[in-house]
Amino acid sequence: MRKTFDLIAAPAGTEPGDYVPRVYAARNLPATSSATLEVQHGDAGWRVSLGWHCPDPVRDASGNTNLFVDAAALLAPTVADAQWITMGAPDKAVEGALWRADREELLRIRAEGLGTVKRQQPPNHWKAHSDWSEARWSVTFELASWPALDDHNQLAFAIWRGAAADRGGLKAIVPQWIAVEP
Q: Which is nearer to another protein, 65 or 133 (CB)?
A: 65
Q: Which is nearer to another protein, 114 or 148 (CB)?
A: 114
Q: Which is nearer to another protein, 1 or 23 (CB)?
A: 23
Touching another protein, residues 90-149 (CB under 8 A): 114-117, 119
Number of residues that bind another protein (CB under 8 A): 23
Q: Which is nearer to another protein, 22 or 129 (CB)?
A: 22
State in angstroms the smallest separation of the CB of 163 from another protein. Answer: 14
For residue 85, give the nearest of 35, 151, 156 by alpha carbon: 156
Which is it for strands 71-77 and 45-53: parallel, antiparallel or unpaired? Answer: unpaired
Tell me the torsion sign for CA atoms 1, 140, 44, 46: negative
CA 146 – CA 142 distance, rounded (Å): 10
State in angstroms the smallest separation of the CB of 87 from another protein. Answer: 11
CA 130 – CA 72 distance, rounded (Å): 11
63: DSSP letter: T
Regarding 10 and contact with another protein (CB under 8 A), the answer is: no
CA 170 – CA 161 distance, rounded (Å): 9
Per-residue contact flags (x/-) with another protein for residues 27 to 66, judged by CB under 8 A: ----------------------------------xxxxxx
For residue 161, give the nearest of 52, 48, 4, 22 by alpha carbon: 52
State in angstroms the smallest separation of the CB of 77 from another protein. Answer: 22
Regarding 169 and contact with another protein (CB under 8 A), the answer is: yes
State in angstroms the smallest separation of the CB of 176 from another protein. Answer: 22
State in angstroms the smallest separation of the CB of 15 from another protein. Answer: 5
Between vectors from CA 10 to CA 155 and to CA 171, what angle results, nearest 5°? 85
Helices assigned H by DSSP within the chain: 20-23, 147-152
Residues near another protein (CB under 8 A) are 15-20, 22-23, 61-67, 114-117, 119, 167-169
